[in-house]
């Protein structure tokens, strides 16, 4: 979302890394959008046995995406379900926890510190701007309160979240929104997530039941996603749980046991999926892996090859077991 520039920004931000379990790379480019609203998280050593990768596609501003990149993996780690070995439950709880943490004074200050200039000005007007005196906004995660401590009910901006966690031979993906995770299994695209669009039957049923509507393929004529973190003005029905709000942060969970023929994962924002199918992306990556090295060269080639076919912000991930 947002206005377009007269000339695209083609500078790329890239990084890579590896451990004894995975090799990964990430690259992003702002393109035609007026601001970069996406964020990512790459923790190949979330703990001694687990790797964590996430892509967060922001809309209406960058603050929520950056908030998730900063805090979501930490909430996974501290979850009781995570300690018990239930990766799926820990991811679901952590997605919903993001909405809880962004409410109240501390959430407002943190979003202002992470967000755009206009968001900071807005928070200053409200008297909730982050300052050194309110440094608890960057304090330990355990200090966050579950209760709203002010009239601030959370951000009107939001982001998608698509997260992949690998532990031993188990892959668990949590997704809310239309970012996507696809695995190459013997050269065939294996979907690890599904897009959450307002006109899908299951999503539309929840939207209507919560008092919303779908117009021109958008929730209440505005948001073209049925699930997202943030967008709190669409989550204000006090009689419904978080999972049943007009828009929900509750993610779908897909879990598989990794096989010998599983080659790589691609996690990306919707820009690439708007112009290529999952199988086309898998075919392209497999072909380029035969000749392009190192990994970051492939990432840059991927973005450049489709530069004139999509006009959003793209982050592309490759994980190699």
Q: What mean pLDDT do residues 239-266 have?
A: 94
Kindly report the pTM of this predicted structure: 0.85
SS3 for 224?
coil
pLDDT, tens digit (0-9, with 9 covering 90-100), for 174-185: 999 999 999 999
Element housing 182 (H / E): strand 180-185
The angle at the Cα of 290, spanning 289 to 291, to the nearest 5 degrees, equals 95
The angle at the Cα of 295, spanning 292 to 301, to the nearest 5 degrees, equals 60
pLDDT at 321: 46
Q: Assess contact for 42 and 26: CB atoms under 8 A.
A: yes
Q: Does residue 132 have a pLDDT over 90?
A: no
Of the chain, the percentage scoring pLDDT greater than 90 comes to: 54
Q: Does residue 210 have a pLDDT over 70?
A: yes
Whole-angstrom distance, CA of residue 229 vs CA of residue 74: 16
pLDDT at 8: 74
Q: Which CATH code for domain 4-102+154-320?
A: 3.60.40.10
266 or 11, which is more confident? 266
- Between 40-44, 150-154, 226-230, 303-307, the lowest mean confidence (pLDDT) is in 303-307
Domain boundaries, given as residue ranges, for the chain = 4-102+154-320
- Strand-pair partners of 265: 183, 319
* Side-chain half-sphere exposure of 300, counting CA atoms within 13 A: 13
SS3 for 29?
strand
176 or 116, which is more confident? 176
Whole-angstrom distance, CA of residue 162 vs CA of residue 183: 13
């Amino acid at each position: 979302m947002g206005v377009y520039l007269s000339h695209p920004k083609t500078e790329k931000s890239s990084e890579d890394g590896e451990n004894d379990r995975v090799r990964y790379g990430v690259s992003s480019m702002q393109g035609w959008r007026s601001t970069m609203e996406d964020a990512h998280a790459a923790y190949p050593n979330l703990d001694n046995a687990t790797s964590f990768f996430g892509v967060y596609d922001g809309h209406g501003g960058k603050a929520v995406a950056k908030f998730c990149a900063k805090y979501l993996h930490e909430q996974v780690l501290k979850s009781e379900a995570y300690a018990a070995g239930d990766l799926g439950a820990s991811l679901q709880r952590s997605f919903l926890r993001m909405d809880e943490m962004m409410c109240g004074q501390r959430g407002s200050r943190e979003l202002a510190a992470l967000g755009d200039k206009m968001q900071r000005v807005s928070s200053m007007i409200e008297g909730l701007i982050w300052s050194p005196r309110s440094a608890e906004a960057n304090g330990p995660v355990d200090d966050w309160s579950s209760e709203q401590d002010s009239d601030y009910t959370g951000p009107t901006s939001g982001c998608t979240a698509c997260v992949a966690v690998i532990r031993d031979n188990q892959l668990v993906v949590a997704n809310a929104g239309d970012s996507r995770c696809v695995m190459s299994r013997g050269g065939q695209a294996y979907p690890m997530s599904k897009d959450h669009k307002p006109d899908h039957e299951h999503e539309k049923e929840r939207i209507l039941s919560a008092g919303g509507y779908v117009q021109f393929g958008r929730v209440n004529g505005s948001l073209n996603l049925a699930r997202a973190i943030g967008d709190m003005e669409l989550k204000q029905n006090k009689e419904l749980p978080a999972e049943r709000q007009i828009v929900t942060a509750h993610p779908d969970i897909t879990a598989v046991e990794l096989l010998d023929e599983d080659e790589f994962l691609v996690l990306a924002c919707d820009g690439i999926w708007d112009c290529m199918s999952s199988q086309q992306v898998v075919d392209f990556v497999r072909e380029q892996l035969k000749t392009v090295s190192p990994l970051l060269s492939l990432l840059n080639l991927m973005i450049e090859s489709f530069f004139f076919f999509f006009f959003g912000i793209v982050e592309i991930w490759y994980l190699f077991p």
